Structure formats: C-alpha cells, structure tokens
Chains A and B, each alone.
Chain A
Amino acid sequence: DADVTQTPRNRITKTGKRIMLECSQTKGHDRMYWYRQDPGLGLRLIYYSFDVKDINKGEISDGYSVSRQAQAKFSLSLESAIPNQTALYFCATSDPSAGSVNEQFFGPGTRLTVL
C-alpha cells in the first residue's frame, strides 16, 4: 500500500467552484507539504505544516487554504477555483527525527483542471 495517498487523482471543475484535495499518510511523519507543479516551472511550495497545530504559508499560498485534521491528514482547498490553478498538485511528508536530512516522500499527485 502507498505510504502517501492523494484523492482525487484527477478532477475537472469549473471557475468559482470550491475544491478540496486530500492527502493521507501512513508514514507517521509530522511534517506535511503541498506543492503545485506547472510545466516548465518545477515544483512550488503552497503550504506546509510541521505538526497539527503548525500551518505555514509557502511561496504561492494566495487562493489556497489548508487544514491539518490529524497527523496523518492534510487537505488543500481552493475556495473559488480559477483557470490558472490548473496544475498537478503534490502532497509530501518528511520526518523531523531525521535531523537535517529533509528527504521528502511524495504522493502520486492530483491533476486538477479548472475550466
């Protein structure tokens, strides 16, 4: 079974709709991250959470919000989707007990299309 799962894997929605992307992990990691990937732009950090009570904005948080429901769950919401939020979204986790080694473990991604 995958350690980091994302749902849905694909989603097509319309401008103005509220969308929630979910991420669950069984790795027991405290740290979780949301990224978006656009062709030719690499990955950009949207939000990150170092534990259930700690939520931080990343590089491109405008238009997004997150919720850390439990250590294992981190959701990303688009309150009112717009076409330029069409992208591939990834959730990732890392283990703070690894010290300065910040290897991240990625989910399979959610392909979101906003029409």
Chain B
Amino acid sequence: SQQGEEDPQALSIQEGENATMNCSYKTSINNLQWYRQNSGRGLVHLILIRSNEREKHSGRLRVTLDTSKKSSSLLITASRAADTASYFCATPLGGGSNYKLTFGKGTLLTVNP
C-alpha cells in the first residue's frame, strides 16, 4: 500500500508565484525524496531530506520535514512555466531504511505564463 500521499492533487498558479505541495506518510522513515515527472516521461529526482533534517534547499526548491506530524512540504519559489509537471514524494517502502520506494499519487502543478 502507498505510504505517502500528496496534497493537493492539482495546483494551478501564475508564473512568478510560489507553489507549495504537501506529502503525508504513515510510518517512521529515515528519509523522504521528491521527484518531478514531466508529462508522460520518467521521474527525475529533485531532493532528498533525511529524518534528522528539518529543512533543505536546492536552488528554487525548499523542502521541509516534520517527523512528528509525518509530513513534508515542497516549495517552489518564483515558478516558471517549465515547472509544469507532476511532483511525487517517495518514502522507503515499509517505512524503514530498506531500498525500495513507495510513491504517492502526485500533485499536478500547472504554471500559467
């Protein structure tokens, strides 16, 4: 069964605005990853945050992790039309540190020019 679940399912914003999407998960994890998928293409890893980290930045991406609430958020600042894609959170299957991942259903982000 799926461990992580993204919210909202879809998000539409204007170029230049910030986009925030959330991920909730069920069991303890030692890391959480975010991936992007452009329409019909393979997923691309964006960022990983470990359980002992609360916040991480990579370019225009900011990820937070709240292990007490079992939730993570991905913030994309100053969005661009090229950011239009689906975004997935991924956690170790079974919640542990094994090497399989389970993916949520994704958030479809549309950035309008």
Give A contacts to B, CB under 8 Å: 4, 31, 33, 35, 40-43, 45, 48, 50, 58-59, 88, 90, 92, 94, 96, 100-109, 111
Which residues does chain B contribute within 8 Å of A101, judged by CB atoms? 31, 48
Give me 8 A-to-B residue pairs in the complex whose CB atoms sit less than 8 angstroms apart, sorted by A's number: A31-B99, A33-B100, A42-B105, A45-B100, A48-B100, A50-B99, A102-B92, A111-B40
Closest to A42 in B: B105
A42-B104, A106-B44, A109-B40 known, 11 other contacts, Cβ within 8 Å: A31-B99, A42-B2, A42-B103, A58-B100, A88-B40, A92-B42, A101-B48, A102-B100, A103-B33, A104-B101, A109-B41
Closest to B46 in A: A103
Interface membership of chain B positions 73-113, coded 1 if the CB is closer than 8 angstroms to chain A and 0 otherwise: 00000000000000010101100010111111110000000
Which residues does chain B contribute within 8 Å of A41, judged by CB atoms? 105
Give the number of A-B contacts (CB < 8 Å).
59
With A42-B88, A43-B88, A45-B93 as contacts: A94 and B40 at CB distance below 8 Å: no
Q: How far is the CB of A2 from chain B (nearest CB, A)?
A: 9
